[in-house]
Structure 1
Amino acid sequence: MTTTSNALTNLRPVGGTALQADHHRTVYRANTEPVDADAYPAGLSAVIDVRRVDETDAVPHPLATTPGYQRVPMFDPSSGLESAAEAIALEDQYIDWLDRHRSGIADALRAVAATDGDVLVCCSAGKDRTGIVSALLARHWGADLDAVGADYAVSAERLVDRFARERAASADPEATATAQRCVPEIMTTVIEHVERRWGSVDDYLRAIGLQDAEIAAL
């Protein structure tokens, strides 16, 4: 039985509507749930699903049969790991991803750049992998660090019911709660790391393989 469309709680424009007000298209971010297709904005030109293949097989995206749907897994299967064992805190995991999964991050951003119309970027909860893509985009568009952190933290309130269900079903609720942590400082720490190491988000994008024309198209 298909759930009701209000289950898609974490759908919103990346960085908030005001940040994209003067853009020629809107880039949305979202979680993935078995909802009706009309839960999504009408007229999407692309859906960029950054989940692993086993995730997309287990829970097919509601828009998977539409022409613009693309499976663009962020996690590089050749790495053998999602993140280093010592990367326990979410900010440390995300920072690890910037190198370990740079090809997947580049592919996702390249797919956004290649789309003229409205775009949806999504993963399972719309918080972690989608959060990285969204934070890089928002900072590239000129959002300040506080705004980037605040946009990330919106997922905490949007996913409160989902997170409660996950903790209740978890064999390790403490580890699950750690993975669900969603405060502004996580993403501001990540962007600060990017700018210390690479100089700017745009310089990071160049380092992972995006061309200047692709960066401009974002």
Structure 2
Amino acid sequence: MSIETSTAAQTLPLVNLRDLGGIQVEGGRVKSGALWRSDDPTISPRAELSELASQGLTAVLDLRSTPEAELSPHRFSGELGVRAHHLPLAETAVHPLALVEAAPAVRSPADVGHWYAGLVRSHIHEVAEGLQVIGHTEGGVLFHCAAGKDRTGILAGVVLTLLGADRSEIVADYARTQENLNQIFERLRHAAYTRAQDPDDEDAARAREFFSSNHPLLAATPDSMDSMLTELGGSGGILDLLKQQTDPDELAEGLHSKLVD
């Protein structure tokens, strides 16, 4: 499937943006204005990003693949005083054709969660770096991918787990994306990095057929996040993985100090 090289996509407001403030965690609640998750802000109007900056946003954590980020970069972040960090949580696994190829092996929401857990393990370096950015940045941090569902959902699940949120809270936050999916997919149709050059291309046709299906990879059901958390072993399992990259206890303490009231 070929991808357009033009970055001239229509700017549209975010449809899957939310402040994680207010979620109950160990010792309190997540602070408002400290941590946002969203779909792709690179195709948002400048005014929307400016409004977030006025609310205290100082850093954006981009979890998209390198091709996505190169084709639709953060154009306004620098002039708004917002630092953009690129930490791809998956380089190939989220390409439309890769999803098509993975589809036969993913037959249920629980299988989606197994896939998520595999991404955490194989990209624990990027996960650790992203957590460091969140914990050490002065001001608010927004993290995103394209839809704000998979890669964004994974990092949200990890952060909230380390903060001591109840699993039901983590799962509920993930599942909130389900109600936004129709708007998300419509918005992404305008993104340069998701459009095929040749409408008659066989691979593009396969991708279009997949994205018009009811496949579990295209949903955000509670069982997917619950499955990921079970497979990773909750906070203990995540902390063990982070030992490969950093001092996990220090990292968790920094996150709690920065994010919790």
Q: State the TM-score bracket (shorter-chain normalisation).
A: 0.7 to 0.9
Task: Decide whether aligned partners of structure 1 residues 153 and 114 sit closer, same or farther in structure 2, where only a CA change above 3 A counts.
Answer: same
Partner of 2:118: 96
State how many pairs are aligned: 210
Partner of 1:68: 83
Partner of 1:46: 59
Task: Decide whether aligned partners of structure 1 residues 115 and 176 sit closer, same or farther in structure 2, where only a CA change above 3 A counts.
Answer: farther
- Which of 135, 152, 158 is equivalent to 2:174? 152
CA contact (8 A) 1:3 1:35 kept: yes
Task: Decide whether aligned partners of structure 1 residues 182 and 67 sit closer, same or farther in structure 2, where only a CA change above 3 A counts.
Answer: closer
Alignment of 1:86-125 (within 5 A): 88=106, 89-125=111-147
- Name the SS for the 2:228 alignment partner: helix
Task: Decide whether aligned partners of structure 1 residues 103 and 125 sit closer, same or farther in structure 2, where only a CA change above 3 A counts.
Answer: same
Distance 2:176 2:112 in 1: 16
- Alignment partner of 1:36 is 2:45: yes
Task: Decide whether aligned partners of structure 1 residues 22 and 12 sit closer, same or farther in structure 2, where only a CA change above 3 A counts.
Answer: closer
Looking at CA atoms only, which structure, 1 or 2, has the larger radius of gyration?
A: 2
- Name the SS for the 1:199 alignment partner: helix
- Name the SS for the 1:103 alignment partner: helix
Structure 1 length as normaliser, TM-score?
0.80
Please report the RMSD computed on the Cα atoms of aligned residues, expressed in angstroms: 3.2
Alignment of 1:1-218 (within 5 A): 2-4=10-12, 7-14=13-20, 16-19=21-24, 21=29, 23=31, 26-33=34-41, 34-40=43-49, 41-42=52-53, 43-65=56-78, 66-75=81-90, 88=106, 89-163=111-185, 170-173=208-211, 177-195=215-233, 199-218=236-255
- Name the SS for the 2:85 alignment partner: strand
Task: Decide whether aligned partners of structure 1 residues 49 and 176 sit closer, same or farther in structure 2, where only a CA change above 3 A counts.
Answer: farther
Q: Give 1:181 deviation, angstroms.
A: 1.5
Distance 1:150 1:111 in 2: 25
Q: Give 1:175 deviation, angstroms.
A: 6.0
Task: Decide whether aligned partners of structure 1 residues 48 and 165 sit closer, same or farther in structure 2, where only a CA change above 3 A counts.
Answer: closer
Task: Decide whether aligned partners of structure 1 residues 28 and 22 sit closer, same or farther in structure 2, where only a CA change above 3 A counts.
Answer: closer
- For 1:141, the aligned partner's letter is L
Runs (4 or more) in structure 1 with deviation over 4 Å come to: 82-87, 164-169
Q: What is the identity percentage for the equivalent residue pairs of Structure 1 and Structure 2?
A: 28
Partner of 2:196: none
Task: Decide whether aligned partners of structure 1 residues 67 and 12 sit closer, same or farther in structure 2, where only a CA change above 3 A counts.
Answer: closer
Structure 2 length as normaliser, TM-score?
0.68
